[in-house]
Amino acid sequence: MSVKRSLFSFVIFFVLAVLFIYPFSKLFIIGFAREGSPTFKNLSEILAKTTNLIALWHTVFVAFFVTILAVTAGVILSWLVTRTNLYFKDFFRIVLVVPYLIPPFISAFAWMQLLSPVGYLNKILMALLSLEEPPIEIYGKYGIIVVSAIYTYPLVYISITKAFERIDPTFEEAAQISGAGKLRVIKDITLPVMLPAVGGAAVIVFVTSTSMFGIPAILGIPKGYLVLTTKIFIYIGSYGTKYNFNLASAMSMLLISIGVLGLFLQNFATRKEKFAVITGKAAGFSVIDLGGLRVPATIFVILFVLLIIAAPIAAVIITALTKALGLAPKLANLTFGNFKYVLFSVPVVWRAIRNSFVLAVTVPTITVLLSVIFAYTARYTEMKGRQFVDYIVSAPYAIPGTVIGLSMILAWIKPVLGVSIYNTIWIIMIAYIARFMIFPMRTVTASLKQIDSSLAEAAQISGASKKKAAMDIIIPLIKPGIYSGWFLVFMPALTELTLSILLYSAGRETIGVTVYNMTQEGLVLETSAIALIIIVVVLSLNLIVRRASKQRISPV
Q: Please state, in angstroms and rounded to a whole number, the distance separating the CA atoms of residues 243 and 250.
A: 11
Instruction: Report the distance separating Cα 39 and Cα 45, nearest Å.
Output: 11
Task: Report which DSSP code applies to 139.
Answer: S
Contacts of residues 174-182 at CB distance under 8 Å and 24 or more positions apart, as own/partner, are 182/288
Q: For residue 503, what pLDDT band results from cuts at 50, 70 and 90? A: very high
Q: Give the per-residue pLDDT at 279.
A: 46
Name the residue among 212, 217, 102 with its Cα closest to residue 491.
102
| Average pLDDT estimate for 42-56 | 91
Average pLDDT value for the chain: 84
Task: Give the span between the Cα atoms of 299 and 196, in whole angstroms.
Answer: 30
Residues 393-403 have a mean pLDDT of 82
Closest CA to 368 of 449, 487, 451, 450: 487
Closest CA to 45 of 26, 31, 59, 28: 31
Please list the alpha-helical segments (H only) found in 116-190: 120-129, 141-165, 170-177, 182-185
**pLDDT given at position 461:** 63
Q: Angle 400-401-407 (CA atoms, 0-180°, nearest 5)?
A: 95
pLDDT 10s digits, 150-199: 999 998 998 888 777 766 666 666 666 666 666 666 666 667 777 777 88
Res 152: pLDDT: 94
Of 523, 495, 509, residue with least CA distance to 436: 495
Task: Specify the 3-state DSSP secondary structure of 33.
Answer: strand
List all residues 6 or more positions away from 112 whose beta carbon is below 8 Å from its beta carbon: 119, 138, 218, 219
Q: Do domains 1-30+335-443+479-556 and 40-298 have the same CATH topology?
A: yes
Instruction: Categorize the per-residue pLDDT at 382 as very low, low, confident or very high, splitting at 50, 70 and 90.
Output: low
Q: Return the pLDDT at 312.
A: 94
| Three-class DSSP labels, 392-414 | HHHHHHHCCHHHHHHHHHHHHCC
Q: At 104, is the pLDDT very low, low, confident or very high (cuts 50, 70, 90)?
A: very high
Quick check: helix, strand or coil at residue 141?
helix
Which amino acid does the sequence have at 21? I
Backbone angles phi, psi at 33, to 5 degrees: -155, 155
In this prediction, residue 280 has a pLDDT band, given cuts at 50, 70 and 90, of very low
Give kind and range of the element (H or E) at residue 271. Answer: helix 244-271
pLDDT tens column, 444-499: 887 777 666 656 556 556 655 566 666 666 777 777 788 888 888 898 899 999 99
Cα separation, 84 vs 93, whole angstroms: 13
Pairwise pLDDT comparison (66 vs 36), residue with the higher score: 66
CA distances from 150 to 118, 231, 320 (A): 22, 23, 22
DSSP class per residue in 450-461: TS-HHHHHHHHH
Mean predicted confidence (pLDDT) in 348-360 = 94
Please give the share of the chain, as a percent, with pLDDT higher than 90: 42
Is the CB of residue 379 less than 8 Å from the CB of residue 475?
no
Contact 100, 555 (CB under 8 A): yes
φ/ψ of 84, rounded to 5, equals: -120, 175
Residue 275's pLDDT band (boundaries 50, 70, 90)? very low
- The alpha carbon dihedral of 93, 99, 101, 102 has a sign of positive
Say yes or no to pLDDT of 299 above 80. yes
Residue 517 binned pLDDT confidence (cut-offs 50, 70, 90)? very high
Please state which CATH number belongs to domain 1-30+335-443+479-556: 1.10.3720.10
Q: Report residue 34: phi and psi, to 5°.
A: -140, 125
What pTM does this model have? 0.86
Domain-by-domain residue ranges, the chain? 1-30+335-443+479-556, 40-298
What pLDDT shows up at residue 173?
A: 62
Q: How far apart are CA 112 and CA 316, in angstroms?
A: 9
DSSP string, 73-135: HHHHHHHHHHHB--TTHHHHHHHTTHHHHS-HHHHHHHHHHHHSTT-HHHHHHHHHHT-SS-S
In the predicted model, what is the mean pLDDT of residues 130-149?
92
Position 366 scores a pLDDT of 95
428, 360 in Cβ contact below 8 A? no
pLDDT of residue 285: 58
- For residue 181, the model assigns a pLDDT of 63
Q: What is the pLDDT of residue 150?
A: 96
pLDDT for 386 beyond 70: no
- CATH number belonging to domain 40-298: 1.10.3720.10
* Residue scoring higher pLDDT (482 or 501): 501
**Better-scored residue on pLDDT, 308 or 278:** 308
